[in-house]
Amino acid sequence: MDHLPLRLNPGEDLRAALQSAAREHHQRAAFVVAGIGSLVDARLRLAAAEDVLLVPGPSEILTLSGSLGMDHAHLHMSVADAQGRVWGGHVMAGCCVRTTAELLIAWLPDWDFAREPDAATGYLELVVRPRGT
């Protein structure tokens, strides 16, 4: 297993930057192991919700984890707003870095991750295959 420590700069979109890192490094399977930093506005999708929750203003990333492939990201995050309230859910596009985001990605070069429809859940779910099969 290889690792990539990564720092994002102000204005970068968290989700887009992680997906870009997977593509740039030609990695088909990875996990985001850890992430901390700050956001301008956090955009999260809560469990079983259709709409995106906007946590406006500055927030601190408390936790960040998820799976990555070259064409998908499934990321969960908890953030604390300026009053210390904690929000959590799926990371959506538009979570822009305020000062920094410090991340650790674990590449899994022997594996391929894909998202395929799952009849039991009705969602695109992770499918894990050894690379080359």
The model's pLDDT over 9-46, given as tens digits with 9 standing for 90+, comes to 999 999 999 999 999 999 999 999 999 999 999 999 99
Tell me, what CATH number does 124's domain have? 3.30.1330.80
Residues in the chain: 133
Total domain count, the chain: 1
Query: Which residue type sits at 12?
Result: E
Distances (CA, A) of 49 to 64, 68, 132: 19, 22, 36
Residue 37, domain extent: 2-130
Residue the block writes with tokens 């990371």: 91
Q: What is the pTM of this model?
A: 0.92
For residues 80 and 69, what is the distance between their CA atoms, to the nearest angstrom?
A: 27
